[in-house]
Amino acid sequence: MNIKQIKRQSDKPRLYEKGSSVMWTDPYISKQLLELHINPENDSASRSRVIIDRTINWISEQINASGLNILDLGCGPGLYAERLALKGHSVTGVDFSETSVQYAASQAREKKLDILYLNKNYLDLDFESQFDAVILIYLDFCVLLPAERDRVLENVFRALKKGGLFICDVVNERNIERKIIPQSWEVSESGFWKDSPYIALTKGYHYPEAKVLANQHIVIGEQDTVDTYIFWNHYYEKNDLVKILESKGFTDTRDYENVLPETGDPWNGENITFYVSKK
């Protein structure tokens, strides 16, 4: 085992540094993610079913209409898309994970729901004036790097009909210290990261100058393979996000606190703010 290499790779990442591996497209990890997504009581990959239902009811209050054409970005296995379709909307879901999209599409066929699923990166969408509402839920907006964020907002604005709504949720500035994950390590015969023995070293970092957190995972496998996963997570103050949205043409931005219930962790309740903007 090359300790110097591992030490070097586990140092604090440079701002917006990329990891050596991608979790969403890894055949094994993507299956683990899907299992977490569809577990009704687990909220590590998706929020619990009770909270998802509460969120969908809140979204329905914002759009306040039936039979709309809705785009669900980062749809995963279709947890929000299915609920919106059951309320009578026509839904298009987009996700980067082929495993999640295949599962979602099979569920839609089985349940005869009006949902089209696309296995695409939503950075590359080319819809134009097609949707009454676009949703980006469960903090997907926060993981976008600045250039990606601008590109996604331009895609969303173009995809919306005039008067259409963009709805997203973001991490706010409250309780930041609680949102920095502690240093930890894991030794496993098999688990989330691999179906073979591995050691996983995890640590969180804060970059206050950029208002962003980083979660870094170093996964050491057999034959001393080393995979690095770095996840960036921005937090937003209201004025900052309103300026960003307005710079891309959005208007009438409204913020909503405590859409999610308090659960004792820093990823619900007062720690998450929802935004609704109009084209």
Distance of CA 179 to the CA centre of its chain: 16
* pLDDT at residue 33, rounded to an integer: 87
Q: Which amino acid is at 77?
A: P
Considering only 33-37, 74-78, 86-90, 97-101, which range has the smallest mean pLDDT?
33-37
> Is the pLDDT at 47 greater than 90, yes or no?
no
> CB under 8 Å, gap of 24 or more: what pairs does 103-111 form?
103/34, 103/38, 103/77, 103/78, 104/75, 104/76, 104/77, 104/78, 107/77, 107/78, 107/82, 108/78, 108/81, 108/82, 111/82
Question: How far apart are alpha carbons 162 and 182 in whole angstroms?
Answer: 45
In 64-139, which ranges are continuous DSSP H helix? 79-86, 98-111
Mean pLDDT of 59-83: 96
- What average pLDDT is seen over the chain? 93
Q: 144 is written with which tokens?
A: 């976008």
Sequence spans of domains, the chain: 3-22+175-233, 39-172+236-278
CB burial class (10 A; 0-12, 13-18, 19+) of residue 235?
buried
| pLDDT confidence tier of residue 45, bands split at 50, 70 and 90 | low
| pLDDT confidence tier of residue 250, bands split at 50, 70 and 90 | very high
CB burial class (10 A; 0-12, 13-18, 19+) of residue 81?
buried
The residue among 165 and 26 whose pLDDT is bigger is 165
* pLDDT at residue 35, rounded to an integer: 84
| pLDDT confidence tier of residue 1, bands split at 50, 70 and 90 | low
Mean pLDDT of 254-262: 95
| pLDDT confidence tier of residue 9, bands split at 50, 70 and 90 | confident
Q: Does domain 39-172+236-278 have CATH number 3.40.50.150?
A: yes
**212-221 and 226-234 beta bridge pairing:** antiparallel
Mean pLDDT of 83-112: 96
pTM for the full predicted model = 0.92
Mean pLDDT of 246-262: 96
- In tens, the pLDDT along 210-225 reads 999 999 999 999 988 9
Q: 256 is written with which tokens?
A: 């909503």
Considering only 43-57, 154-168, 186-200, 255-269, which range has the smallest mean pLDDT?
43-57
The residue among 131 and 3 whose pLDDT is bigger is 131
* pLDDT at residue 2, rounded to an integer: 72
Mean pLDDT of 57-67: 95
Strands (E), 196-271: 198-207, 212-221, 226-234, 251-257
- In tens, the pLDDT along 134-190 reads 999 999 999 999 999 999 999 999 999 999 999 999 999 999 999 999 999 999 999
| pLDDT confidence tier of residue 43, bands split at 50, 70 and 90 | low
> Is the pLDDT at 20 greater than 80, yes or no?
yes
* pLDDT at residue 234, rounded to an integer: 98
> Is the pLDDT at 42 greater than 70, yes or no?
no
DSSP, res 71:
E
